Amino acid sequence: MDKRRASDNPLLDHWDTPHGLPPFGEIRSEHFEPAFVAAMRAHRNELDAIARRADAPTFDNTLAAFDSGGRLLSRVEQVFYNLTASETSTELQAVQRRMAAPLAAHTNAIYMSAPLFARIDALHRGRDAASLSPEQRRLLERVHLDFVRAGARMEREAQARYGQVMEELAALTTTFAQNVLHDEASYMLVLHGEAEMAGLPDFVRAAARQAASERGLPDGQVITLSRSLVVPFLTFSERRDLREQAWRAWVGRGEHPGEHDNRSVARRILALRNEQARLHGYTNYADYALADTMAGTHEAVTRLLDQVWPRALDAVERERRMLREVMVDAGAGADTSIEPWDWRFWAEKVRVSRYALDDAELKPYFRLEHMVQAAFDCAQRLFGLRFEARADLPVYHPDVKAYEVYRADGEPVGIFLQDNFARPTKRSGAWMSSLQWQNRNAPRGGVERPVILNNNNFAKGAPGEPTLLSMDDVRTLFHEFGHGLHGLLSNVTYERLSGTQVLRDFVELPSQIFEHWLSEPAVLKRHARHWRTGEPMSDDLIARLHRARRFNQGYETVRYTASALVDLAVHALPDAEPPADLCAFEAHTLQKLGLPPGVGLNHRLVHFQHLFSGSSYAAGYYVYLWAEVLDADGFDAFVEAGDPFDAQVAQALHRFIYSSGNSLPPAQAFESFRGRPPQVEPMLRKRGLIEEGAG
Q: How far is CA 383 from CA 368, 470, 657, in A?
A: 22, 27, 12
Cα distance between residue 464 and residue 344, in whole Å: 30
DSSP per residue, 585-637: HHHHHHHHHTPPTTT--S--GGG-HHHHSSSTTTT-TTHHHHHHHHHHHHHHH
Strand (E) positions, 74-227?
A: 189-190, 222-223
Beta bridge partners of 455: 419, 431
Cα distance between residue 644 and residue 656, in whole Å: 18
480 is catalytic: yes
User: Which residue in 255, 448, 480, 495 is the catalytic one?
Assistant: 480
Q: How far is CA 138 from CA 169, 288, 535, 664, in A?
A: 29, 21, 51, 7
Longest dimension (CA), the chain: 84
DSSP 421: E
Neighbours of 160 (CB within 10 A): 13
Closest to 26 (Cα-Cα) out of 2, 6, 1: 6
Cα distance between residue 482 and residue 487, in whole Å: 9
Cα distance between residue 645 and residue 349, in whole Å: 35
Cα distance between residue 32 and residue 35, in whole Å: 5
Helix (H) or strand (E) holding 388: strand 386-389
Which residues contact residue 620 at a Cβ distance below 8 angstroms, ignoring those fewer than 6 apart? 289, 290, 293, 504, 505, 567
* Chain centroid, CA 498 distance in Å: 17
Q: How far apart are the first and last CA of the chain?
A: 65
Are the beta carbons of 658 and 489 closer than 8 angstroms? yes
* Chain centroid, CA 100 distance in Å: 21
DSSP 537: P
Cα distance between residue 27 and residue 22, in whole Å: 8
Per-residue H/E/C for 438-450: CECCCCCCCCECC
Are the beta carbons of 649 and 635 closer than 8 angstroms? no
Q: Which residues are catalytic?
A: 480
